[in-house]
Structure 1
Amino acid sequence: MTSDDMRRAVAHRVAALRAERGLSLSELARRAGIGKGSLSELEAGQRNPTLDTLYAIAGQLGVPLTALLGEQSGTEGTGESIDVSLLHVEHHDDGATTEVFWLRLTPNGIRTSPAHGPGVIESLYVATGSVSAGPTGNERPAGPGETVTWVSDVAHTYRSGPRGTQAVLTIHSPG
């Protein structure tokens, strides 16, 4: 899939989910904290969304990130200090979803993610480097071979060490 194809697919998913929830463009933009013009361009397939924008929209629509990005393994997203690549998505019988990403943080990179839906749990397994991660202001450190887990229904932060971080991130969203 080309980047143009992916941008159009994301645009279609955002517009369809917004319409399903009966939200106007203005209302979703307000709730997500983004400009109405930016959301309009995104839905028209004229703008490449950042991870920050997609997370903000997904949170307000009450869906996992992959509901916007798609579920094809290898799908990538970027944001300030972070790159992610989708490894796998699992849908459970109870309606829950588990997303698995390969995550790369730049050296001394800081990424703050907006709150996800109620009961969403993140686990970060550090493969290389070091990180402090968890609810903003209450991050916990982890090095190679260690895991940090938290409920991500509040803003949360990832802070990489001086060599950067490579990790496996799982996000479990209840049904």
Structure 2
Amino acid sequence: MPPDPSPPLATIAAALRQERQRVGISLTELARRAGIAKSTLSQLEAGLGNPSMETLWALCVALDIPFSRLVEPPANSVRVIRAGDGPRVRSEHADFTGTLLTAGTAHARRDVYLIELEPGRIRNAEPHTPRTVEHLVVGTGRMRCGPEHEQVELGPGDYATFAGDAPHRYEALEPGTFFVLIMEHS
């Protein structure tokens, strides 16, 4: 059994396997696309060898990924934001507080928020960028939401989706209402 690869080689090996599997191609096909020997690629995925900058660039081009994706150690696989933590932003015009849980990336254009909403003033939202779609799931309480002329009433566990690129609103019908909002951007 070969020794454990050193950290930079381990990072490169794991990233190569992950990206090749993401694209859905074999070792042979990736080696062909990158113009390198299959044995070289096999060794790199095993965390062996001493890849040159040119070899890594060729693999990045073949996988259509930035160079940093192969050499940057991955972030922790589990990220936790405890209840009440995270960046909270309040609305000026309604008792509506949003906490961004995660922002989208170039490959996953979506943002996830935890929204706290109290009865009283309605949160009227202006249209977002074209082709934005909102998905929401109510955690507790009851609410009314959606485009101005297609409001729906939701309770705990209910899911709704609607176009976010038209005027829409959110209204709490019970104290302590909260929901998870996923904004999908095309």
Q: TM-score, normalization: structure 2?
A: 0.51
Structure 1: unaligned runs, 5 residues or longer:
1-72
Q: Is the 8 A contact 2:101 2:113 kept in 1?
A: yes
Name the structure 1 match of 2:128: 116
Flag the structure with larger Rg. 2
Q: State the percentage of identical aligned residues.
A: 29
Deviation at 1:166, TM superposition (A): 0.5
Aligned: 1:156 with 2:159: no
Q: TM-score, normalization: structure 1?
A: 0.54
Q: Which amino acid aligns with 2:104?
A: E
Q: Deviations over 1:82-130 (max 9, x none)?
A: 001111112143xx52100010011244101000111100011100001
Structure 1: distance between partners of 2:104 and 2:159: 20
Q: Is the 8 A contact 2:143 2:174 kept in 1?
A: no
Structure 1: distance between partners of 2:106 and 2:158: 26
Structure 2: distance between partners of 1:76 and 1:109: 19
Match of 1:85 among 76, 99, 103: 99
Ranges of 4+ aligned residues in structure 1 off by more than 2 Å: none
Name the structure 2 match of 1:132: 144
Number of equivalent positions: 100
Say which SS state the counterpart of residue 133 (structure 1) adopts.
strand
Structure 2: distance between partners of 1:153 and 1:166: 22
Say which SS state the counterpart of residue 99 (structure 1) adopts.
strand
Match of 2:181 among 146, 169, 172: 169
Q: Is the 8 A contact 2:138 2:159 kept in 1?
A: yes
Q: Which amino acid aligns with 1:88?
A: T
Aligned: 1:98 with 2:121: no
Match of 2:154 among 121, 136, 142: 142
Structure 2: distance between partners of 1:137 and 1:165: 22
Measured at CA, do residues 109 and 144 of structure 1 come closer, stay the same or move farther in structure 2, by a change above 3 Å? Answer: farther
Say which SS state the counterpart of residue 132 (structure 1) adopts.
strand
Name the structure 2 match of 1:28: none
Q: Deviations over 1:19-77 (max 9, x none)?
A: xxxxxxxxxxxxxxxxxxxxxxxxxxxxxxxxxxxxxxxxxxxxxxxxxxxxxx72221
Say which SS state the counterpart of residue 163 (structure 1) adopts.
coil
Say which SS state the counterpart of residue 174 (structure 2) adopts.
strand
RMSD: 1.5
Structure 2: distance between partners of 1:109 and 1:173: 27
Structure 2: distance between partners of 1:92 and 1:127: 29
Structure 2: distance between partners of 1:113 and 1:132: 13
